[in-house]
């Protein structure tokens, strides 16, 4: 059955989306990224070799899937070419199946410089950005001064736009470091050179997606980051600068919001976060270390250790609600194997009402309230049939469903593709 399916992380990113793409890949014809840039990080194992992509959709390693970078993605051409080269080495030529929207905005070197300089100069208010120019590139997009892919093919206006940008950025950069000025001629030459290299990949994503729908093809919308990093709905200001929620698909692809057939949300069986920002269930004790070590919780983009904590059902059920989640894929349940007790946060103690907390995502002063479940000794690792799960792990999953109001349709029980329990296949039989 053909479907338009959205796949997004329900927490702060790194939920294991790549593996779920793998599970669905045989029934997917096309995949679209619609937001973010090379701040994302998905680790893929292709023929036993590890590759990390930041910008290309995870689906790129499946030769049957056509991949799109939609208008909502901010694109660093340096990053894109480097990933196309990696793809060439490990997967083969992807020219015929990668299309970059003409309307996508570009990350220029000055965006990266200012992102890093600004973050470095902050004292108490660091966001913990990946330093890849994502925020400044989106600021320009909203400020109506972005250089879009289409501008690369009009050298006259490109020069004018770059000059206008440098007027602002060289001024800002000088404030932090007077030795890092950008030169207009070098920048223009670089853009024009990259324009030639990009030509075979440039296309019209709206019409491509429309044609695929007419042909009844299944399309996957691959979210990057996670719902709690959405700049409108997440833990503002400790968020990324795009709509990493379901709502980002319509403007980020060019598709009506009513067209998505199935919204699949990915959540770990616990919680992690990279970078700064509130994290009510964070564990700074030996259980946090146990989870971090057992779950290999290190950021794929920056190599920073991920902060770890218990599953927060208050935030998870909010993500389920805001993203119209039809089914949850619960990942890394095997990481909890062997713990004596497993906790889930079900409420907060706070001077604010729960409604106020969720409206503003002011999580700084909340104290989590937990329910405590029996842990399990029997391994869940590698189990592929729900009935083979030990009772206590099954109770944990059932509790997550009850607290979040959505069924857990897939359970990932280990790092290998085959380590999964599929209770309901989101793409039908
Ligand atoms: P930026 O997206 O680089 O501006 O970073 C903003 C915040 O989002 C920081 O806390 C980053 O660590 C976080 N972030 C950005 N991309 C990802 C991701 O793919 N996974 C997890 N966290 C991310």
pLDDT digits (tens, 9 = 90+) for 205-261: 999 999 999 999 999 999 999 999 999 999 999 999 999 999 999 999 999 999 999
Q: Within the chain, which residue ranges are assigned CATH 1.10.300.10?
A: 105-198
pLDDT score, position 304: 87
Q: Does the CB atom of residue 380 touch ligand 1 within 6 A? A: no
Q: Is the pLDDT of residue 420 over 90?
A: yes
Residue nearest to atom 23 of ligand 1 (CA): 225
According to CATH, where is 3.40.440.10 located in the chain?
4-102+201-259
pTM, two decimals, is: 0.96
Q: For 146-164, what is each residue's pLDDT tens digit?
A: 999 999 999 999 999 999 9
Model confidence at 12: pLDDT above 80: yes
By most ligand atoms within 8 Å of CB, the mutation choice from 17, 135, 226, 240 for ligand 1 is 240
The CATH number of 4-102+201-259 is which of 1.10.287.610, 3.10.105.10, 3.90.1150.10, 3.40.440.10? Answer: 3.40.440.10
311 φ, ψ to 5°? -60, 135
35-60: pLDDT as tens digits: 999 999 888 777 778 888 999 999 99
Residue 240 DSSP SS3: coil
Residue 299 is predicted with a pLDDT of: 83
Strand 341-349 and strand 4-9: pairing?
Answer: unpaired
Q: Candidates 1.20.1730.10, 1.10.3210.10, 2.40.160.60, 1.10.300.10; correct CATH number of 105-198?
A: 1.10.300.10
Nearest CA to ligand 1 atom 1: 129
Q: Which CATH architecture has domain 266-422?
A: Alpha-Beta Complex (3.90)
Looking at residue 429, its pLDDT comes to 61
Distance CA 424, CA 429 (A): 9
Put the strands of the sheet holding 219-222 in their side by side order. 202-203, 98-101, 66-69, 30-33, 219-222, 4-9, 262-268, 327-331, 408-412, 420-422
Residue owning tokens 């929207």: 101
Cβ atoms of 30 and 57 closer than 8 Å: no
The pLDDT value recorded for residue 59 is 94
Long-range contacts of 150-156 (CB under 8 A, 24+ apart): 150/102, 150/103, 152/106, 152/191, 152/192, 152/194, 152/195, 152/198, 153/195, 155/188, 155/192
- Cα gap 152→121, rounded to integer Å: 32
Q: What is the mean pLDDT of residues 324-345?
A: 98
- Stretch(es) of the chain classified as CATH 3.90.170.10: 266-422
């Amino acid at each position: 059955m053909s479907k338009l399916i959205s796949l997004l992380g329900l927490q702060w990113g790194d939920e294991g989306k790549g593996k779920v793409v793998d599970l669905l890949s045989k029934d997917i014809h096309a995949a679209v990224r619609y937001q973010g840039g090379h701040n994302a990080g998905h680790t893929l194992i292709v023929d036993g070799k590890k590759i990390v992509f930041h910008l290309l959709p995870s689906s790129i390693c499946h030769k049957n899937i056509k991949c799109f970078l939609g208008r909502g993605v901010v694109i660093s051409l340096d990053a894109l070419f480097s990933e196309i080269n990696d793809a060439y080495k490990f997967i083969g030529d992807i020219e015929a199946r990668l299309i970059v929207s003409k309307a996508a905005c570009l990350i220029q070197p000055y965006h990266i410089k200012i992102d890093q300089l600004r973050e470095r100069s902050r004292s108490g208010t660091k966001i913990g950005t990946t330093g890849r120019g994502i925020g400044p590139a989106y600021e320009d997009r909203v400020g109506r001064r972005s250089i879009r892919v289409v501008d690369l093919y009009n050298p006259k206006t490109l020069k004018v736009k770059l000059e206008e940008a440098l007027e602002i950025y060289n001024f800002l950069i000088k404030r932090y470091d007077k030795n890092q000025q950008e030169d207009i001629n070098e920048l223009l030459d670089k853009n024009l050179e990259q324009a030639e290299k990009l030509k075979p990949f440039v296309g019209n994503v709206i019409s491509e997606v429309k044609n695929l729908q007419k042909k009844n093809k299944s399309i996957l919308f691959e979210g990057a980051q996670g719902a709690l990093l959405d700049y409108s709905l997440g833990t503002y200001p400790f968020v990324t600068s795009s709509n990493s929620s379901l709502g980002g698909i319509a403007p980020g692809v060019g598709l009506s919001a009513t067209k998505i057939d199935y919204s699949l949300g990915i959540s770990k069986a616990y919680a992690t976060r990279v970078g700064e920002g509130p994290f009510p269930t964070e564990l700074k004790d030996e259980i946090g270390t146990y989870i971090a070590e057992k779950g290999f919780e290190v950021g794929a983009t920056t190599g920073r250790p991920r902060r770890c904590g218990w599953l927060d059902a208050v935030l998870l059920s909010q993500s389920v609600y805001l993203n119209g989640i039809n089914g949850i894929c619960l990942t890394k349940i095997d990481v909890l194997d062997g713990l004596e007790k497993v906790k889930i946060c079900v409420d907060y103690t706070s001077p604010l009402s729960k409604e106020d907390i969720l409206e503003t995502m002011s999580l700084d002063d909340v104290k989590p309230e937990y329910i405590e479940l029996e842990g399990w000794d029997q391994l869940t690792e590698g189990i592929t049939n729900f009935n083979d799960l030990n009772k206590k792990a099954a109770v944990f999953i059932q509790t997550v469903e009850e607290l979040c109001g959505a069924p857990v349709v897939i359970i990932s029980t280990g790092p290998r593709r085959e380590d999964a329990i599929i209770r309901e296949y989101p793409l039908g039989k």
